[in-house]
Structure 1
Amino acid sequence: MKKKSIYKMLGIRLQVFVALQRNDAQGPWQYNNKLPSIEMHRDLTLDFQILHFVALCVDDIIVSTQFLNDEEFATLQNINLHLITLSLKTDRGYFLTKQLILFAQNLAEYMIRSTFARIKYQDCDLPARPLSGKYFEKGDIVILNNKAQNYKGEVQIITKRMINDGIRNLFGQLDENEQKIVDCLLPNQEFRFNLS
């Protein structure tokens, strides 16, 4: 990240490699171990690798191994390189839109708040739902319920363990890898959840 900031300041484009996950994918050398630019990407899906680099504001993303099959090509075609997308495992008790587009309005110590959602869902009835645990954990996605009054409908990504005060309903969770993308969000940056 430090080097990226220096390159950006100097006007140097930052290029990175993502890797196909198939054993038969070939790179430029006789020995190829998928050839990603970041070690943590070595065994992660192609779409996650790309989305992580989109969140890091990388200029050029190059597939380091070849050849793309039809499924991989379709994956590439379906990635929006201008919008951070987070895959969210949702609680089945909610029936919101399949693709919830949000704006990271406020990056606070314990959460990322999207006030845009509270405008969109202000007329929805969001009764408080019991949570089995005493705390919300990093990666939990919550929606403020009716008890939050004017803040009802606000969506928050929990970034640090926080006590359950009764005004938040658990909506879903981001896995450990998706949380790495959250760490890259900037104030007022648009992002989207793909709900599963």
Structure 2
Amino acid sequence: MHRMGISIYPEHSTEKKDYDYMKLAAKYGFTRMFTCLLSVDEPKEIIMDKFTKFMEQAHELGFIVGVDTNPSVFLHLGATPYNLKPFYDMKVDIVRLDGHFSDREDIAITHNSYGIPIEFNASSNTALDLMIERGANRDNMVVCHNFYPQKYTGLGWNKFMEFTNKYKALGLTVGAFVSSNNENTFGPWPVFEGLATCEMHRGLPIDLQVRHLLATNKIDDILIGNAYATEDELKAISKVDKTRTTFKLELADSITSEEENIIYNYPHFGRGDASDYLVRSSMPRADYREVKIPYCKYDKEFFHRGDVVIVNDNLYHYRGELEIIEKDMPNDGKRNLVARIPKEELILLDILKPEHLFGFIKPE
């Protein structure tokens, strides 16, 4: 099950603005929240009072709240890896360790008497496998990637997947951050260039960031790192199909109603006997054995990566098959160009695997 989340930084805003944002996010089905104690510079008593009220408000709206901490935060609040009572008293749901204790203490904290899940940093090569082997409570461990305020410092995609695959193989829930493109957003630090986990996501439409993470089939929880996202962005995320990889399309002017029916009204999945040249969705063929799909002239000599084509009457045995071109392929008149995947959406095609479900987002 995928959970969508937001981030809130009370020390940089007002209670009313934060609560209004929580309500808006809850309206669109968001259920996770990230907040940070690393950047809070106030006496313990004030922190305990403010964050307890904050947690209560979040819980009333159905949020599960993770709080970013490190050994200095623990010391300031009077907590230790063996005693999480200050976090329990604040009603914290998840304690995230941005910094670590000793190996023994990191293991011990997963057995805390309050049953508070401990979230480890997924953007580092932490030996969680060895911790589990040495007795850490796997059932009380989750991981979440970092976000990166400074432009050009976010994780490269290959490194992101390397870390993600490592922790997913341990059976742990994995989270990651996407970034709002709203103006004047903020996070815990005075840097304002977005708060994504992966550098390639910075500046992309937020729903595409989410769809790309979901397409890995490895990311469970996705949180918006910066505050505040716009209502349109929250709405766009709420509409993302979390059951399959979905693409936006630029439809060809010549597309017919039958071809649109094939695009939008069939479940698509690439065949297991995959070609290097195209992704083949063969299911529509069964309904188009006797239904004509007239040839539509296309003047280009080649189809290119990201072109979406449908087999026409000139190859009637395969008529109705939808195909996504993966590498340049000659146009022999047997396929109609019906749409193109926009350039920025091709990152989804890069990771689409054979036999995995995919679909297309119908314009509203």
TM-score greater than 0.5 by the shorter chain:
yes
- Tell whether 2:184 aligns with 1:19: no
Q: Which amino acid aligns with 2:344?
A: N
- How far has the Cα of 1:138 moved from its partner? 0.5
The equivalent of 1:79 in structure 2 is: 240
1: CA distance, partners of 2:297 / 2:230: 46
Give the 3-state SS of the residue equivalent to 1:10 in structure 2: coil
264, 280, 288: which is aligned to 1:99? 264
Aligned to 1:174: 341
Residue 72 of structure 1 and its aligned partner are, at CA, apart by 2.1
Would you say the 8 A contact 1:89–1:195 is kept in 2?
no
The Cα offsets for residues 74-99 of structure 1, whole Å up to 9 and x where unpaired, read as 21221122221100111132222373
Greater alpha carbon shift after TM alignment, 68-77 vs 49-58: 68-77
| Residue number in structure 1 paired with 2:209 | 49
Are residues 1:126 and 2:286 paired?
no
Quick check: 1:104–1:188 contact (8 Å CA) kept in 2? yes
Please say if 1:40 is aligned against 2:206.
Answer: no
Q: Structure 1: how far apart are the matches of 2:278 and 2:164?
A: 25
Q: Secondary structure of the equivalent of 1:117?
A: helix
Q: Would the alpha carbon gap of residues 28 and 119 (structure 1) be closer, same or farther in structure 2, given more than 3 Å must change? A: farther
Q: Does 1:114 align with 2:274?
A: no
Q: Is the 8 A contact 1:109 1:160 kept in 2?
A: yes
Distance 1:64 1:130, change over 3 A: same
Deviates more, 1:127-136 or 1:61-70: 61-70
Partner residue of 1:60? 221
In structure 2, distance between residues paired with 1:140 and 1:117: 18
Equivalent of residue 352 in structure 2, options 181, 185, 188: 185
For the Cα contact (< 8 Å) 1:141–1:155, is it kept in 2? Answer: yes
Amino acid of the residue matched to residue 105 of structure 1?
R
Deviation at 1:113, TM superposition (A): 0.3
18 and 127 in structure 1: CA distance in 2 versus 1, 3 angstrom threshold: same
Paired amino acid for 1:102:
H
The CA deviation string for residues 117-157 of structure 1, in whole angstroms up to 9 with x for no partner, is 22243333111111111110001000000111211000000
Please tell me the residue identity of whatever aligns with 1:103.
Answer: F
Any conservation in 2 of the 1:18–1:63 contact (CA below 8 Å)?
A: yes
Q: Distance in 1 between matches of 2:323 and 2:239?
A: 26
Offset of residue 180 of structure 1: 1.0
TM-score (normalizing by structure 1)? 0.92
Q: Among all aligned residue pairs of Structure 1 and Structure 2, give the percentage whose two residues are the same amino acid.
A: 30
2:310 alignment partner, one of 143, 151, 160: 143
Cα shift at 1:175: 1.5
Question: How far apart are 1:185 and its partner, in Å?
Answer: 1.2
* Higher Cα Rg, which structure: 2
Structure with the bigger percentage of helix: 2
8 Å CA contact 2:268–2:359 kept in 1: the answer is yes
- Structure number with greater CO (CA < 8 Å, separation at least 6) is 1
Alignment partner, residue 325 of structure 2: 158
User: Which residues of structure 1 form unaligned runs of 5+?
Assistant: none
8 Å contact from structure 2 (residues 309, 322) kept in 1: yes
Task: Give the AA of the match of 2:181.
Answer: Q
Residues in 2 aligned to 1:184 and 1:117: alpha-carbon distance in whole angstroms = 23
| Whole-Å separation in 2 of the counterparts to 1:193 and 1:80 | 10
SS across alignment from 1:183: helix
Which stretch shifts more, 139-148 or 1-10? Answer: 1-10
List alignment gaps of at least 5 residues for structure 2.
1-160
Give the structure 2 partner of residue 28 of structure 1.
Answer: 188
Structure-2 residue corresponding to 1:194: 361
Deviation at 1:54, TM superposition (A): 0.7
The alignment partner of 2:208 has SS state of: helix
TM-score (norm 2): 0.51
Using the TM superposition, name which of 101-110 and 136-145 deviates more: 101-110
Q: Distance in 2 between the 1:122 and 1:74 partners?
A: 40
